[in-house]
Amino acid sequence: MAEAVSTGNPAVQQTAKKVKFVITRQDKPEGPSYTEEFEIPYRPGMNVISALMEIQRNPTNSSGKDTAPVCWESNCLEEVCGACSMVINGKPRQACSSLVDKLEQPITVAPMKTFPVVRDLVIDRSRMFSALKKVKAWIPIDGTYDLGPGPRMAETKRQWAYELSKCMTCGVCLEACPNVNEKTDFIGPAPLSQVRLFNAHPTGEMNKEERLDAIMGEGGIEACGNSQNCVRSCPKGIPLTTSIADLNKETNKRMFKRWLSV
């Protein structure tokens, strides 16, 4: 995948390999975007994050011109935190798990378009976090004192609920969803799946109707176009469309219950 300069010494060939990157950059939130090319030394097993670190150590582009270091976000480096989401070779994914050896060159890297750009590859995920607040994706407590063992969940329910709990709020499913854009206020697949998760919890179930009412309003579940891009793109394999289908049933039941109570 990486280019190499032909020499008679295999060790020299290994160090002479270069990896080409084309990075979409933006100097400030309202500034224009532009691309900049970089060539960095190849190392076996390197991922996109390690490549960005190399560019940060030596911020010189392919033309030999010194430039500002590329800005990006990362934390755990093991596909758990979701901070390093970006569009790599046209696909939204995690940079820490994107291996250079498995990517075609030149490797294109760009910020996700669903969220406002802060600088370069750093984005503002406020839209997603606001949606989680809207659906109350938490279990309220009235104190930090010891209440003893909590209610137990049936093992079958615990197993599928655990799959939903793998969400790392990376935003990839929102980026892949055609219904999440600047023209809509659709909250997106991840917050919807969290509604199902917290409604399944024996304690969280106390606020079940409140969460269902939230997703029955503006920007809620009715805005889903069932493209199923979300479930195909989720790096954790979360059954997002299964959650949405279940919530469709639950919101219909909630709607009839409200209608009968009028």
List pLDDT tens digits, range 48-75: 999 999 999 999 999 999 999 999 999 9
Residue whose entry in the numeric block shows the structure tokens 């934390």? 75
Residue 247: give the domain boundaries: 126-261
Among 104, 123, 142, where does a domain finish? 123
Looking at the fold, whether 41 and 56 belong to one and the same domain comes out as yes
Residue 147 has pLDDT above 60, yes or no: yes
Letter for the amino acid at 235? P
Q: Give mean pLDDT, residues 189-197.
A: 97
Residue 169 has pLDDT above 70, yes or no: yes
Neighbours of 34 (CB within 10 A): 10
At residue 9, the pLDDT reads: 44
At residue 58, the pLDDT reads: 95
At residue 159, the pLDDT reads: 94
- Pick from 94, 96, 91: nearest CA to 49: 96
Which distant-in-sequence residues (6+ apart) come within 8 Å of 155 by Cβ? Answer: none
Among 91, 123, 155, where does a domain finish? 123
Instruction: Give the total residue count for the chain.
Output: 262
Looking at the fold, whether 133 and 115 belong to one and the same domain comes out as no
Q: With H, G, I as helix, E, B as strand and everything else as coil, classify residue 119.
A: strand
Q: Give mean pLDDT, residues 160-171.
A: 96
| pTM (predicted TM-score) | 0.87
Percent of the chain surpassing pLDDT 70: 94
Q: Where are the beta strands (DSSP E) in 17-158?
A: 18-26, 33-41, 85-88, 91-94, 107-110, 117-119, 122-123
At residue 203, the pLDDT reads: 87
Looking at the fold, whether 136 and 182 belong to one and the same domain comes out as yes
Neighbours of 233 (CB within 10 A): 19
Q: Using CB atoms within 10 A of its CB, is residue 48 exposed (0-12), middle (13-18) or buried (19+)?
A: buried
Q: With H, G, I as helix, E, B as strand and everything else as coil, classify residue 239.
A: coil
Distance CA(49)–CA(18), nearest Å, equals 16
At residue 141, the pLDDT reads: 75
Q: Give mean pLDDT, residues 197-213.
A: 94
**More confident site: 111 or 1:** 111
Residue 3 has pLDDT above 60, yes or no: no
Which distant-in-sequence residues (6+ apart) come within 8 Å of 35 by Cβ? Answer: 22, 23, 24, 25
Distance CA(115)–CA(109), nearest Å, equals 15
Number of domains making up the chain: 2
Beta bridge partners of 22: 37, 108
Binned at pLDDT 50, 70 and 90, residue 11 comes out as very low
Residue 4 has pLDDT above 50, yes or no: no
Alpha helices in 113-239 (DSSP H): 126-134, 155-164, 172-176, 189-200, 208-215, 229-233
In a domain, 116, yes or no: yes
At residue 144, the pLDDT reads: 77
At residue 217, the pLDDT reads: 93
Residue 15 has pLDDT above 60, yes or no: no
Looking at the fold, whether 132 and 256 belong to one and the same domain comes out as yes
Among 123, 138, 170, where does a domain finish? 123
In a domain, 172, yes or no: yes
Residue 215 has pLDDT above 70, yes or no: yes
Phi first, then psi: give them for residue 228, nearest 5 degrees. Answer: 65, 15
> What is the rounded average pLDDT for all residues in the chain?
92
